[in-house]
Amino acid sequence: MASLNSTSIKIHEHCHVPPPPTLTHSSLPLTLFDLFWLRFHPVERIFYYSFPSPNTDSSFFFQKLVPTLKTSLSLTLQHFLPLAGNIVWPSDSETPFVQYNPGDDGVSLVIAESDLDLKHVLENSPNDAALSHSFVPHLESSDSLASVISLQVTLFPNSGFSIGISTHHAVLDGKSSTMFIKAWASLCQQDQEPTCLVPELVPFFNREVIKDQPSLHIFSETLSKLFPNDRTLKILPFQPKLEDSVRATFNLTREDLEKIKKRVLSKWDKVVIDEEESNLYPKPNTLSTFVLTCSYVSVCTAKAIQGVENNRNKFALAFTVDCRNRLLEPPIPTNYFGNCVWGHLVDTKPTDYTEEDGVVIVAKNIYNKIKMISDNGVVEGAKNIVTRFKSLSSEGVDIMSIAGSTRFGVYGIDFGLGKPNKVEITSVDRSLTFGIADSKDGNGGVEVGLVLNKNVMKIFHTLFHAGLCID
């Protein structure tokens, strides 16, 4: 297992990449969806790529690849102008907003080099949790100003490179972040200007579709509980949990998911989760990849933690719902750029995750929650979400959460040298979070990344694989 001490990072350049110089000053308001995440930790993701030829030398990286990445980044920013600016909160403004000043602003870009063997980084076996932090950049924030994104391109000599991105969650969610990366990759492959984006990658910034939504007024009360009389933009210190922790990636194939689904559905009517609600929805004919993945991984995680620490036996699961184009009136466009997600807690008992039929119990509860959201709207339960989180925390309940989505298509992002060998959500190490993505082979499986105490990870590994061997 590699550690951070076994590698070093050399910084070759730290620059700011602006959009083309013809653009004018602009600003973008933050919605209630955005403000919820105002002081949340940065979302960090790394894309790892191998060079097409194993004999590619460093001159290709510095003389060809880096200039191409810089040029295409600048051209991309003309379509995503707020990303080149900063979050500001002037004294005469009730709420913060994003502001871009031409000639002054741009995206922070670090060009670095690692002495680590890329093959080791690409392994799915556990690595020191701190290792990945060498390849993601810092995102600046202070009381009065916060950067929107920062980027780092790291060379692994003779083998490949990585692109690390840190994003401010108050400006963009996972779908928006992925849209930007896809647009950058698309323009990186275009040989000459003018550069065009396919329609689904053209961002929609019009906040009017959200601002006057009557159903969202309840979020104002939630925000007042989170940030009472607090005008600072400084990101709260969510420190990564790195001591004695390891990072690993696990795969669920289509066959694995089918096996879990059959097992859950076979016990669906035998396992009663609540006398009053058990018959709210009839037994489904199938279950989504999301339900199957989250129930299986959360139960394996809970049981692994309890296997090391007997006193940690209470758990809860939270997830976010994408509200675009389906849950609000009028519908929000699928290419809306910003935050358009809202969090929900699964209605499970804290001890459900360590029960013998925990996967069935949790799967039923996730399924019921999704059905209730579909029937009642995205704000279902929004008024009490903060109170519930605080109550669970005070009761010693470990709250698990989910980052990423299998719908983002991260393994299709090609900057001209082929698709990524690995994509990682580094920031899952700041809480008990697991990241999910579409499988690299494109065959309908799921890739799951998580960071756990090294002893917990050993038990998780055993439980995860043993459960897939049961017919």
The set of catalytic residues is 169, 414
Pair 54, 118: CB distance under 8 Å: no
Pair 337, 273: CB distance under 8 Å: no
Q: Give the whole-angstrom CA distance, residue 430 versus residue 416.
A: 32
Closest CA to 197 of 60, 29, 78, 62: 78
Q: Please give the structure tokens belonging to residue 42.
A: 């940065």
Long-range Cβ pairs for the range 219-226 (8 Å, 24+): 219/32, 219/33, 219/36, 219/379, 219/382, 220/32, 221/383, 222/36, 222/382, 222/383, 222/385, 222/386, 223/32, 223/35, 223/36, 225/386, 225/387, 226/36, 226/386
Pair 226, 440: CB distance under 8 Å: no
- How open is the CA angle 305-386-394, to the nearest 5 degrees? 45
Closest CA to 290 of 316, 325, 252, 327: 252
| Cβ count near 150 (within 10 Å) | 22
Q: Where are the alpha helices (DSSP H) in 227-357?
A: 254-266, 289-308
3-state secondary structure of 149: strand
357 residue type, one letter: D
Please name every residue paired with 343 in a beta bridge, in sequence order, or none if there are none.
Answer: 320
Q: Give the whole-angstrom CA distance, residue 196 versus residue 461.
A: 45
Q: Please give the structure tokens belonging to residue 333.
A: 């466009």
Q: Please give the structure tokens belonging to residue 453.
A: 């105490």
Residues 6+ apart with CB under 8 A from 282: none
CA 46 to chain centre: 11
Pair 157, 83: CB distance under 8 Å: no
